[in-house]
Amino acid sequence: MPDSSHINKPPCSLAAIDLGSNSFHMIVVKIIDDQIQIIDQIKEMVRLGEGLTEEKQLRPEVRLRALACLERFGQRLRNKAEGSVRAVGTNTFRQIRDPSFLKIAQQALGHPIEVIAGREEARLVYLGVAHGLATKTGRRLVVDIGGGSTELIIGEGFKPIERESLHMGCVTISRRFFADGLITEQSMEEAIIACSLELRPVRAHFNKRHWRSAVGSSGSIKAIREVVINAGWSDDGITLESLERLKERLIEVGSIQQLQLRGLSDERQPVFVGGVVALLAVFRSTEIERMHVSSKALREGLIYEMLGRIHHEDVRQLSVHSLGKRFNIDEKQVERVDGTVMALFDQVSLSWMLNDPEYAKILGWAAHLHEIGLTIAHSQFHKHGAYLVENADLSGFTRQELAVLAALIRGHRRKFPLEVFEALPSKVINSSKQLCILLRLAALLRRSRSASARPNIRITVQGDKINLRFTPSWLNRHPLTHEELKYEQAHLKEVGFELNFK
């Protein structure tokens, strides 16, 4: 959800930031004939995941380290327009239970930070990797090992088909099994077994019967490739045999602090063993024999996603329509409500400063999905629908966007749920309330589900005052709507809005 005016023309450069559990990455690219050219990239090993306490709070020194890094990124992005920068937080950001951190982090960066779900992370990883591979037929398995999670994706071309995010990463494995710095045969086997158990529920969907080639991305996998090639255990990518030999070599060294392997950087050393364990477990569980390595990953996926949105290829639109089909929405009623709500929106967007295209999109999607809860039960269907949307796997949506979408659906009828909106990020609370009021009015006005009852309405707004003007005698000919507007007037008054109509 935006909080300021939109970009009038596509930007000539874009920036993407991946705020991972181990490292923070930023790339800045120039757009030349719809192709990207990297002009700057920065990586810092923040190790956010190792600073997470059992209470899901960040230790002060890690918090300061993260904010300092974001400030440095922010300096590089100071002159970037809104919409030309996309920053996402992954596994550790998903776990942090300190709402103030996200707000301070955004202030340090100077741009919004979206917290994305694991399967959305997997989709974006695949999008980045797929753009870096030669086009050929056949399905591929993509594996990305991050600091706190591992993503598995099967796809073909640019389309992901199966995707999963698992709770295992190089930082979390290293902290759990190698906290004392020792690498023993027992600790190694315990770690591999734990990862294999994590993989067990999904391995049947990702084994070699479902793909033709395997590709790895992320810092851990690139570091492993460098080590096995430098050791002479592989001459092309990573093989299962080379991984097994690397495992034995790590046990032989016996200590993380004493790891001196050609191709292994000092900054990767503390979490290298965790990455090896995760990858070896993936190789064994999915029956990989050889893996090629991609230089592209999540941040490149973000760039290509931004390019798609600029050219009106928004995967979120497909996600909404797919969900609507799954829950058998009444397409004709959706069209009625959508047409009415957009007519209202067009009249008030300037007065309410809702002129960014994202506002119209989120409102249209809410209109499309406002009745999906009817599949569960008519009673309280707005609550059922909100729950479904907030917990659905909708590609392209961030958690914040899903929260806003769910709030609009939750609030489109009956008592206005002020507490739901007050729980949203502060910058979007007021605009979300305004969008919800428009949806409420549209749903109310089209409740008869009749094409012939379409009202011709003039709406004006001034702050929290809303004025509806109908054509002469329309309300007299629709007495039920007239009565419902009186109830709506009372509902809105309770939350500080004044509705007048005649």
Q: Please say whether the beta carbons of 382 and 409 come within 8 A.
A: yes
| One domain, residues 374 and 493 | yes
Question: Residue 394 has what pLDDT?
Answer: 83
| One domain, residues 241 and 377 | no
- Judged on CB neighbours under 10 Å (0-12, 13-18, 19+), 148 is buried
Return the half-sphere exposure (C-beta side, CA atoms, 13 A cut-off) of residue 324: 21
Q: How far is CA 356 from CA 13, 161, 292, 431, 462, in A?
A: 20, 32, 42, 11, 19
Give, for 214, the enclosing helix (H) or strand (E).
strand 213-217
Q: Is residue 303 part of a domain?
A: no
Domain boundary among 116, 142, 173: 116
174-177: list long-range contacts, CB under 8 Å, 24+ apart. Answer: 174/256, 174/270, 174/271, 174/273, 174/274, 175/49, 175/50, 175/274, 177/274, 177/277
- 109/462 Cα distance (integer angstroms): 34
Question: Residue 9 has what pLDDT?
Answer: 54
Q: Which of the residues in the chain have pLDDT under 50?
A: 3-8
Q: Is residue 3 part of a domain?
A: no
Residue 109 contacts by C-beta under 8 Å, 6 or more apart in sequence?
Answer: 17, 70, 71, 73, 74, 77, 87
CATH number at residue 88: 3.30.420.40
| One domain, residues 339 and 281 | no
Q: Is residue 302 part of a domain?
A: no
| One domain, residues 409 and 277 | no
Question: Residue 64 has what pLDDT?
Answer: 96
| One domain, residues 166 and 292 | yes
CATH number at residue 434: 1.10.3210.10
Q: Which two tokens stand for residue 490?
A: 């009372």
- 216/297 Cα distance (integer angstroms): 9
Count of domains for the chain: 3
- The whole domain housing 43 covers 13-116
Amino acid at 100: S
Q: Is residue 285 part of a domain?
A: yes
Q: Is residue 373 part of a domain?
A: yes
> For the chain, first and last CA: distance in Å?
33
| One domain, residues 359 and 472 | yes
| One domain, residues 126 and 66 | no
Amino acid at 313: E
Domain boundary among 116, 146, 171: 116
Question: Residue 2 has what pLDDT?
Answer: 54
Question: Residue 7 has what pLDDT?
Answer: 40
Question: Residue 11 has what pLDDT?
Answer: 67
Question: Residue 306 has what pLDDT?
Answer: 87
Domain boundary among 268, 296, 324: 296
| One domain, residues 451 and 331 | yes
| One domain, residues 285 and 354 | no
Selection from 276, 156, 263 nearest residue 215 by Cα: 156
Neighbours of 8 (CB within 10 A): 6
pTM of the model: 0.76
| One domain, residues 319 and 249 | no
Q: Is residue 448 part of a domain?
A: yes
Q: Which two tokens stand for residue 121?
A: 């992370």
Q: Which two tokens stand for residue 31?
A: 């757009």
132-138: list long-range contacts, CB under 8 Å, 24+ apart. Answer: 132/294, 132/295, 132/296, 132/300, 133/215, 133/294, 138/211, 138/212, 138/213
CATH number at residue 260: 3.30.420.150
